[in-house]
A and B are shown apart, each in its own frame.
Chain A
């Protein structure tokens, strides 16, 4: 009996201990998690920017993404704030900042804080890994509460991913965005949405509004950081960045398939074979089951990117699936994109804005006319078509830096004689001068006359204008910027849709355009695309093997493609570049002329 009593007592004690031990353990866990959260938020807060217009009006939030001061925010925060603005960090210091680039369609802008090269930048996360229910927190300056620039933090969960929000006003379309119940309010605009590791996963910019006034009602939207990563270099180019269109629109059919509902016949996608009523199966590697999903994908890429698209067509009772790679076209005309001018209606049948969705803090105050202080003035160069040309020069020079190691071509305005063999073993000869570009492949001669009144042609036929493109190549090396009417840094993209990320320098002369691709890793010039006119497929030239010819470096292997077909690949074994132009001394060209 006594033993049994002891047994009962011990059991009771054990139960008590278990319960108590568990309670302690749980507390420790909770406290630990809390401490961790506090640490993450403390670190995150250092990178959050309170943005004020130069006139002291308006205001919004932002987040530092590089140690040298580049910060992301919303376009609608900087709209009307002027080129120069004041930015507060949670160290209590107010910094000068300058506007770098804007993306009015995606509602993103990039600014640069000045005065330090060791700003506390926030790491960027991968927004595609977010799931419904994941904890997130927003930081910023809602209702402009923080006069000491300490950001407000609000926490919530991911309420939805891959959300599509119709354009508000004329642009400002939120595609593939993150929906959260973390409280986002006027003043939060442009501020970061963090995951619990303290990585930026989005830029907060919009809330659903209904009848309850301009305050959060449980649905806030953040632009995904993965979208912004696509545009980051474009934004740093000091330009107004454009989004893309496919040249085709889609609609859902009765049975839920997403079909092409209209298509422009001069679009690249039409040339790739897409037709009315074809069913879109996947786009950019993501399956398409709704119009929103299609718009979500289209909305996160800049124009010019190449994306895979697969579609299905019923032909004589048989279903055929095709996979193509399409180059995205510009959504807006250049005249529609500017910092201050109210953009005109977007082209190509965009939907009208919805009333109940709104970007926050849209401003209408006039631009400040204050004089720019001298120490700041050097960070701004005004040029038509650019937000801030200073940053374009900066990026262009950085991207092209490696080209100077090829040697000095500036005096070589005479006849260029290049020779080599094609992969099939045919002799190839190229002659370039200021008057014309000629070419022999085996016995066949080709010629492109140059000069203002000469029309550029697809020569050799099926290249998209290789000879005219060669002239751009020559001008790039001999004249650089001065060889073109337009010459600027465009941004970056994966080469040919899936290759390494390359910096793009854009050149234009007499309506012919070229894009020059520089490896972001090595700086090497990897090739170029050349367009005779913008309604045709480009001539694509890719370079391999840099070789020395007469003390200068030139690419030896050239691969020429057009409209998804390889035209030729050849290896140069001799390059003679003459220093001055003597029109009489061009027998090869005259020969080709005949």
Chain B
């Protein structure tokens, strides 16, 4: 019986020690996470588009997971590690459905998160959010850290501008204001620094129009796809050029659409001019229209537009949404016969 008493006392001691050391632990957990978080600088800086975001290392040789957005438009972006070391990063793969892009920098033995170790957390779990909000950190300065709790784990219903966001999977909703300019691609962790999720882009709730603070869980699909991209086995749901598929049946020009020169990694799909008497001309498309949706699918670049149009079947009618000036215009295109 005495032994049992001793056991109980030992247990109590352990718990008390753990409590008093909790604050200390949070500090060092933050330091550990910061070593794995990077600052990313790329395209933007105009019309309210910020030119910076956040990412996190997921391999010792320099794979970085980040949010798929306009910052990654150039061929290379600047990736700055926690210690101020500066690298060139290139996109090696992306899954826009999950808002995920994987960059690669040339490094070795880098501190990183093991994707396989990513955990999950229930409602009420205390969490930390890491991200370079408002670009307040440069060089070797650590990114901002916020505290909060998981308010809910639920399906995302959000929109960006006027558009529904394609991703409607599970997300963590947090009570801290984690989603700010620059925090996309940052991480949500537990208080002891365990990776939970990637902070997404700034989005609004599609019903209430309020800004939401959410993060996309790493465990599961995100980790699987990131792993596939790193091992070069991945084909995106929206890969721009699907070389191993049969060649596109149609090209934009078959519809009478001549796009602007495709010079960027993601050139917006602006119409340069419309061929006379083509289906496009008949549908009333004009030069300078920006193609937004093809058959209900968001197209974010010339390549994506070509890929979407390439899948059409002759005789179909394709609904399109284009932006003309400040207006959204819906038109319908008839898919021409291929063998003309």
Chain A interface residues (CB < 8 Å from chain B): 10, 13-14, 17-18, 21-22, 25-26, 29, 131-135, 156-157, 159-160, 162-163, 165, 179, 181, 208, 210-212, 216-219, 252, 256, 289-290, 292-293, 356-357
A217 to B131, CA, bound (A): 13
Residues of the A chain whose Cβ atoms lie less than 8 Å from the Cβ of B27: 131-134
Kindly identify which residue among A21, A256, A292 contacts B8, using a CB–CB cutoff of 8 Å. A21
Question: Residues of B contacting A134 with CB < 8 Å?
Answer: 23, 27
Listed by A's residue number, 24 A-B pairs whose Cβ atoms lie within 8 Å are: A17-B4, A22-B12, A25-B15, A132-B27, A132-B34, A133-B26, A134-B23, A134-B27, A157-B146, A181-B177, A208-B136, A208-B180, A210-B180, A210-B181, A216-B177, A218-B176, A218-B180, A219-B133, A219-B134, A252-B139, A256-B84, A290-B138, A356-B181, A357-B134
Does the CB pair B86–A256 fall under 8 Å?
yes
Contacts of A159 in B (CB 8 A): 144-146
CB neighbours of A165 from chain B (8 A): 136
B140–A289 touching, CB < 8 Å: yes
A293–B138 Cα distance when bound, in Å, is 10
Question: Which residues of A lie under 8 Å from residue B84 when comparing CB positions?
Answer: 256, 289-290
Complex Cα distance, B127 from A181, in Å, reads 13
Give the distance to chain A from B191, nearest Cβ to Cβ, in Å: 9
- Measured CA separation A248–B181 after assembly (Å): 33
Q: Is B141 part of the contact surface with A, judged by Cβ < 8 Å?
A: yes
Counting chain B CB atoms within 10 Å of each CB, which of A18, A134, A216, A292 scores highest?
A18
In the complex the two chains form, is A163's CB within 8 Å of B136's CB?
yes
Pair B211/A212 contact, Cβ less than 8 Å = yes
- B window 235-292: CB within 8 A of A: none
Q: How far is the CA of A162 from the CA of B136 in the complex (A)?
A: 10
Query: Total contacts A to B, CB within 8 angstroms?
Result: 113
Query: Is B30 positioned at the interface, with any CB of A under 8 Å from its CB?
Result: yes
Interface string of B162-177 (1 = CB under 8 A from A): 0000000000000011
**Residue ID in chain B nearest A177 by CB atoms:** B136
Which residues of chain A are near B34, meaning CB under 8 Å?
A: 132
Q: Is B178 interfacial (CB-CB < 8 Å)?
A: yes
Chain B contact residues, majority secondary structure: mixed
Contacts of B48 in A (CB 8 A): 211
Interface mask (B108-146 → A, CB under 8 Å = 1, otherwise 0): 000000000000000000001000011011111111111
Query: 6 closest Cβ contacts across the A-B interface?
Result: A218-B177, A290-B139, A181-B146, A14-B4, A133-B30, A159-B144
**With A208-B134, A290-B84 in contact, is A22–B15 under 8 Å at CB?**
yes
Does B97 make an interface contact (CB < 8 A)? Answer: no
Select which of B8, B19, B139, B145 is within 8 A of A133 by beta carbon: B145
- A356-B23 contact in complex given A210-B181, A218-B176, A292-B141, C-beta closer than 8 Å: no
Contact B177 A290 (CB under 8 A): no
Known contacts A133-B26, A218-B180: A160-B11 contact under CB 8 Å: no
A residues in contact with B143, CB < 8 Å:
160
A200 CA to B138 CA in the complex, in Å?
Answer: 27
CA distance A125 to B30 in the complex (A): 23
| A26-B134 Cα distance, complex, nearest whole Å | 39
A22 surroundings in chain B (CB, below 8 A): 11-12, 15
| Chain A residues, Cβ within 8 Å of B1 | 10
Q: How far is the CA of A440 from the CA of B207 in the complex (A)?
A: 90
Min Cβ gap A136→B in Å is: 11
**Least CB distance, A343 to chain B, in whole angstroms:** 25
B24-60 near A? 1/0 per residue, CB < 8 Å = 0011011100100000000000001000000000000
Known contacts A135-B23, A208-B133, A289-B84; A14 and B8 CB within 8 A of each other = yes
- Contact in complex: B16, A217 (CB < 8 Å): no
B8-A156 in contact (CB<8A) = no
A157 to B146, CA, bound (A): 7
- Tell me, in angstroms, the Cα distance from A208 to B138 when the chains sit together: 16
Given the known interface contacts A133-B27, A212-B211, A290-B138, the answer about A21 and B181 at a Cβ–Cβ threshold of 8 Å is no
User: Is B92 part of the binding interface, using a Cβ–Cβ cutoff of 8 Å?
Assistant: no
Tell me the smallest distance from the CB of A555 to a CB of chain B, in Å: 48
Query: What A residues does B31 contact at CB under 8 A?
Result: 132
B138 / chain A contacts, CB cutoff of 8 Å: 290, 292
- Minimal beta-carbon separation of B2 from chain A (angstroms): 12
B69: min CB distance to chain A, Å: 16
Complex Cα spacing A356 to B136, Å: 12
Q: In the docked arrangement, what's the CA distance between A357 and B135, Å?
A: 11
Contact of A181 with B147 at beta-carbon distance under 8 Å, contacts A211-B48, A218-B176 already known? yes
User: What CA separation (Å) do A132 and B129 show in the bound complex?
Assistant: 12
Q: A290 and B8: CB pair below 8 A? A: no
Task: Check B180–A290 contact: CB distance below 8 A.
Answer: no
A210–B211 Cα distance when bound, in Å, is: 12
Residues of B within 8 A of A219 (CB): 133-134, 136, 144, 180
B residues 172-227 with Cβ under 8 Å of A?
176-178, 180-181, 211
The residue of chain A having its C-beta at the shortest distance from the C-beta of B181 within the complex is A210
CA distance A208 to B7 in the complex (A): 52
B23 proximity list for chain A (CB < 8 A): 134-135
Given A218-B133, A219-B136, A357-B134: A157 touches B180 (CB 8 Å cut-off): no
Cβ contacts under 8 Å, A293 to chain B? 139
Q: In whole angstroms, what is the CA distance A25 to B13 when docked?
A: 9
Q: Which residue of A21, A160, A211 contacts B144 across the interface (Cβ within 8 Å)?
A: A160
User: Residue on A with the closest CB to B133?
Assistant: A219
Provide the bound-state CA to CA distance between A289 and B83, in Å. 10
- Residues of chain B within 8 A (CB-CB) of A211 are 48
CA distance A212 to B211 in the complex (A): 8
- Contact indicator A18/B11 (Cβ below 8 Å): yes
| Partner pick for B7 among A14, A252, A256, CB 8 A cutoff | A14
- Are B4 and A10 in contact, with the CB atoms below 8 A? yes
Hey, which chain B residues are within 8 Å of A256, CB to CB?
84, 86, 139
Whether the pair A29, B16 counts as a contact (CB closer than 8 A) is yes
Please give the distance in Å from B145's CB to the nearest CB on chain A. Answer: 5
**CB-based contact A26/B139 at 8 Å:** no
B178 x A292 contact (CB < 8 A): no
Give residues of chain B (74-91) contacting chain A, Cβ–Cβ below 8 Å: 84, 86
Instruction: Choose among B11, B12, B16, B136 the residue that contacts A179 (Cβ–Cβ < 8 A).
Output: B136
Whether the Cβ atoms of B137 and A160 lie closer than 8 Å is yes
Q: Specify the chain A residue showing the minimal Cβ separation from B213.
A: A218
Cβ of A290 and Cβ of B141 under 8 Å apart?
yes
CB–CB B4/A218 < 8 A: no
* Cα–Cα, bound, A456→B155 (Å): 80
Chain B nearest CB from A41 CB (Å) reads 17
Q: Please, which residues of chain A bring their CB within 8 A of the CB of B30?
A: 132-133
A289-B180 in contact given A159-B146, A219-B134 (Cβ < 8 Å): no
Q: How far is the CA of A217 from the CA of B179 in the complex (A)?
A: 9
On whether the beta carbons of B140 and A217 are closer than 8 Å, the reply is: no
Contact of B180 among A14, A217, A252 (CB under 8 A): A217
Assembly CA distance A25 to B146 (angstroms): 29
User: Which A residues touch B12, using CB under 8 A?
Assistant: 21-22, 25
Note all chain A residues with C-beta closer than 8 A to B176. 181, 218
Are B177 and A217 interface neighbours, CB within 8 A?
A: yes
Beyond A10-B4, A256-B84, 4 additional pairs, beta carbon < 8 A: A22-B11, A25-B16, A157-B147, A160-B145
